[in-house]
């Protein structure tokens, strides 16, 4: 990982590197963090083996000093996206799960011990390529949206104490894997002069398309029988019935009579 100075980005000159650090044993796939002050920040990195590392970085004159704080192994394999905010780390992984990890796991200390139970993963039928927590957007609603395969799913996370978040929306929206999700707020001015806000979800896919969806439609898109629901057992086939009366047609009777006469 490298830290770059963006203060000269508009001048067209090469950016200055203020430091680099390395600790992962596999390629770093994604990164996020938050500023604590003008001279300090928390950095979170995740790699293709499912390892998440938390770092503390501090500015030292014209360079940055990086110190490891903790490490998580809540995923079994590649982490495709992480997003940090509001006291949680949101992660999407190729182990077919998305996870919501609270700060207590990220920054363990004596005054706030790590909970005994790790967060419960949100299971998907295939790899989760992207995740969008709506609580971190201007909308600030308790939903998360995930892209797994060619399907977009919406989960209600109003109560994280539930065994598993409720699936409230599902749409098969692409021909290939969904790899990116963002929210776009459309502002409309009505005839009465009032500005109305209409939230949309933008999805990008390996099928080469970018599509947009009204959030209100996604929230009501759960089919009666979704791919995530348990398959229903097929109804037993009716037992075959036996015809106890053997009857010949008129043609068969004539043919049988001819055979008997020939004998």
| Whole-prediction pTM | 0.79
Q: Cβ distance 15 to 3 under 8 Å?
A: no
End-to-end CA separation in angstroms for the chain: 99
Q: Cβ distance 201 to 210 under 8 Å?
A: no
Q: Give the separation between CA 234 and CA 139, rounded to whole angstroms.
A: 43
Statement: residue 243 has pLDDT above 50? no
Residues 6+ apart with CB under 8 A from 180: 130, 147, 202, 203, 204
Higher local confidence (pLDDT), 174 or 222:
174
Q: Cβ distance 196 to 179 under 8 Å?
A: no
Statement: residue 98 has pLDDT above 80? yes
pLDDT at 209: 96
pLDDT tens column, 169-184: 999 989 999 999 999 9
pLDDT tens column, 41-56: 999 999 999 999 999 9
156 burial class (0-12, 13-18, 19+ CB within 10 angstroms)? middle
Q: Cβ distance 109 to 90 under 8 Å?
A: no
pLDDT tens column, 9-44: 899 889 988 888 888 999 999 999 999 998 899 999
Mean pLDDT across the chain: 84
Reading the block at residue 63, the tokens are 């360079």
Q: Cβ distance 124 to 96 under 8 Å?
A: yes
Q: Which of 67-81, 98-112, 129-143, 231-245 has the lowest mean pLDDT?
A: 231-245
Q: Give the separation between CA 134 and CA 45, rounded to whole angstroms.
A: 21
Give the ranges where the chain is alpha helix by DSSP (H).
Answer: 103-106, 215-218, 250-262
């Amino acid at each position: 990982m490298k830290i770059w100075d963006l203060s000269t980005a508009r001048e067209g000159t090469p950016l200055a590197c203020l430091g680099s650090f390395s600790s992962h044993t596999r390629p770093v796939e994604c990164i996020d963090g938050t500023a604590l002050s003008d001279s300090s920040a928390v950095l979170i990195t995740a790699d293709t083996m499912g390892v998440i590392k938390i770092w503390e970085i501090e500015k030292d004159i014209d360079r940055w000093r990086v110190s490891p704080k903790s490490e998580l192994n809540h995923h079994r394999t590649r982490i495709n996206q992480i997003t940090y905010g509001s006291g949680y780390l949101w992660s999407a992984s190729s182990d077919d799960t998305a996870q919501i990890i609270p700060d207590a796991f990220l920054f363990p200390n004596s005054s706030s011990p790590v909970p005994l139970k790790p967060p419960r993963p949100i299971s998907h039928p295939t790899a989760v390529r992207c995740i969008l927590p709506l609580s971190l957007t201007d909308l600030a609603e308790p939903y998360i949206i995930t892209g797994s395969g060619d399907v977009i799913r919406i989960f209600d996370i109003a109560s994280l104490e539930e065994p598993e978040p409720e699936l409230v929306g599902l749409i098969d929206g692409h021909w290939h894997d969904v790899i990116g999700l963002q929210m776009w707020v459309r502002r409309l001015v009505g005839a009465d002069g009032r500005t109305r806000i209409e939230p949309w979800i933008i999805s990008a896919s390996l099928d080469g398309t970018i599509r947009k969806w009204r959030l209100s439609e996604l929230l009501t898109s759960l089919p009666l029988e979704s791919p995530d629901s348990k398959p229903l057992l097929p109804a037993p086939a009716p037992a075959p019935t036996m015809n106890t009366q053997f009857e010949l047609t008129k043609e068969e009777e004539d043919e049988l009579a001819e055979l008997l006469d020939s004998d």
